[in-house]
Amino acid sequence: MPMPDTDTSSPKHLRDKYAIVGVGETTYTRGSGVTTRALGTWAVRNAIEDAGLKASDVDGMLSYQSGDSTFSTFIAGDLGLRLNFYMDVFGGGSSTEALVGMAIGLIEAGMCKTVAVFRAMNGFSQVRIGGTGARAAAPVMGDALHGRAYGWQSAGQMFAPTFMRHMYDYGTTPEQVAHVKHFHSCHASNNPKAFYKKRYSVDEVVSSRIICKPLHLLDCCVETDNATSIIVTRAERARDGRHHPVLIRGVVGRCSKPRTDMHYQTGPISTVAGHYAKDILWPNSGVGPEDIDLTGSYDAFTFTTMLQLEDYGFCKKGEGGDYVSNGTIRLGGKRPNNTSGGHLCEGYTHGMNMVIENVRQLRHDADDSCPIGPDGKRQHTHDYREGGCRQVKDAELSANLGWANPGTGSAMVMRRG
């Protein structure tokens, strides 16, 4: 595949110089029965083992959370890592790609050599993102008086004006976006790790109960308990690893719309942060949407997948409804999205599981049910029927599109090394 290298505006000297060399996760459950510290420790350990590294090889750690997790110091302590750098940042869905960019910067600045990034959460059994449980009864203070006092608190409620306005502006239909759940659920049925493996039809999505218009129950992602981790280091170190290297082509982190404090002040409100982020992502990566073989567009809701694919330029603005329903994003289609089943089906770890999936796809090593051959590698059939293969054929380039809210997003292009 040609890698155009013609623009002069971006730090292309870092293209392909860094790699994700290890990925790891825990089981996706509802009721882990253990602390976020235990979950995080397992995920980071699994990622280090996957990379074929020793504890002493990892000297940097980054994590993100929303007051619902364990700090790097405890995970490092449990695993006997001595760190030269660590930081735990506040935030959710736009963090994975942003922290990969930070890890590159840290290593480039000579502050450390290899960074483990993790997210650990009991998102079902302890702190639920939607604000149910103890969070629902918390006092409404200060700025929240302009939102929570109106029963406008959960992610679905807060994003809904964007989704609704997109339907008004462009005629997007509930059935079009319901295809996202349909396709992702088909992908999940070929993912033994997925929390929900059942295939859902478009009819089942649009006839599930309304949560807050325009969202049905099955337009919303699953909440689960789990931890995920990835290991970032220099590309030359990746060549000694256990797996085919997966190189980081370009990153954009927590790019925002104007007035990100209250982004609805600036329209069009049916446009999301990807509209701005695309102008960093594609020049930095030296490729464009047409070059990408598979995407990981964040599916907190069916709508978020569509809005981001549209604003990053995978289709024209306003044509996202057609793009996500015409078969392009299904396994076997031109550009599959969230081949693990994503947040709608596999499990919810604020975007990191979708990066992990694309790393495995680019290794040509998706962990489906295909038989393992004599060389120890899976013999992928590319037969995408239920329970079958989910490896994208000849996957070379992927794009992950992370979402915090309509006003903030992050993204990353990776390629098979």
Binding-site ranges for another protein (CB under 8 A): 130-132, 136-137, 139-143, 145-154, 157, 160-162, 164-165, 167-168, 173-174, 206, 209-214, 259, 261-262, 264-269
Residue 214 or residue 274: which is nearer to another protein going by CB?
Answer: 214
Residues belonging to the active site: 298, 348
Q: What is the DSSP letter of 331?
A: T
CA–CA dist 190, 221 (Å, integer): 18
Instruction: Tell me the two tokens of residue 404.
Output: 């915090």
Give the SS3 label for residue 307: helix
Nearest to 176 by CA among 1, 71, 319, 325: 325
**Which residue in 147, 92, 93 sits closest to 304, CA to CA?**
93
C-alpha to C-alpha distance for 329 and 178, rounded to whole angstroms: 13
Which tokens sit at 288? Answer: 């464009």
Pairing of strands 225-234, 114-122: antiparallel
Q: Distance (Å, rounded) from C-alpha 221 to C-alpha 224?
A: 10
What is residue 249's DSSP assignment? E
- Joined together, the tokens standing for residue 94 give 């736009």
List the end-to-end C-alpha distance of the chain, in Å, as a whole number. 12
d(CA 263, CA 279): 19
Burial of 262 (0-12, 13-18, 19+ CB in 10 A): exposed
Q: Give the residue carrying structure tokens 């380039």.
A: 397
Distance, CA of 288 to chain centre:
19
Contact 345, 185 (CB under 8 A): yes
Shortest Å distance, C-beta 315 to another protein: 21
Rounded Cα gap, residues 244 and 239, in angstroms: 8
Nearer of residues 169 and 279 to another protein, judged by Cβ? 169
SS3 (DSSP) at 142: helix
Amino acid at 171: G
Question: Please, what is the minimum distance in Å from the beta carbon of residue 324 to another protein?
Answer: 17
Nearest to 214 by CA among 222, 223, 205, 203: 205
Give yes or no for a contact between 284 and 251, defined as CB atoms under 8 angstroms apart. Answer: yes
Secondary structure class of 412 (helix, strand, coil): strand
Instruction: Determine whether 349 is exposed, middle or buried from the number of CB atoms within 10 Å of its CB (0-12, 13-18, 19+).
Output: buried
> Are 227 and 40 a contacting pair, CB within 8 Å?
yes
